[in-house]
């Protein structure tokens, strides 16, 4: 088991994949290391949100994903 990282929207282009697995547990610092400098820079931006286990985190730096949980990286949205 691991943590699955899901890349949405333009972040998927940057990552080059839709999703990837990382060892659990996954915290904010480890997430930034795992995704590499280019994506880490994006993730630090205020307008990029992070969801863990289906809930958007109010404070993404408090991320702590456990075994089997999914972490979604959510760039600015554009629907309608």
Partner 1 sequence: MARKSRCCPRSAVARLALSGAADVRLLEAGLSVGEALAAFNAAHPQAGGVASFLGKVRPSAGDSPVKALELTHYEPLTLPGMEHLAEQARKRFALDGVLVWHRIGVLTPGEGIVLVAAAARHRRGALEAVDFLMDHLKSAAWLWKREKRGIGWHWIEPRAEDHAALARWQ
Minimal distance, residue 12 CB to partner 1, in Å: 8
Longest Cα separation, the chain: 37
What tokens appear for 25 in the block?
């547990």
Cβ proximity to partner 1, 24 vs 51, nearer residue? 51
Cβ proximity to partner 1, 13 vs 46, nearer residue? 13
CA distance 4 to 26: 10
* Residues engaged in binding partner 1 (CB under 8 A): 6, 8-10, 13, 18, 51, 54, 56, 70, 72, 74-80
CA distance 65 to 39: 18
Cβ proximity to partner 1, 29 vs 77, nearer residue? 77
């Amino acid at each position: 088991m691991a943590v699955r990282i899901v890349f949405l929207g333009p972040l998927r282009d940057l990552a080059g994949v839709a999703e990837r697995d990382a060892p659990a547990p996954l915290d904010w610092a480890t997430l930034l290391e795992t995704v590499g400098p280019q994506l880490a820079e994006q993730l630090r931006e205020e307008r990029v949100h992070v969801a863990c286990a289906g809930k958007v985190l109010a404070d993404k730096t408090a991320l702590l994903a456990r075994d089997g949980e999914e972490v979604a990286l959510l760039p600015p949205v554009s629907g309608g």
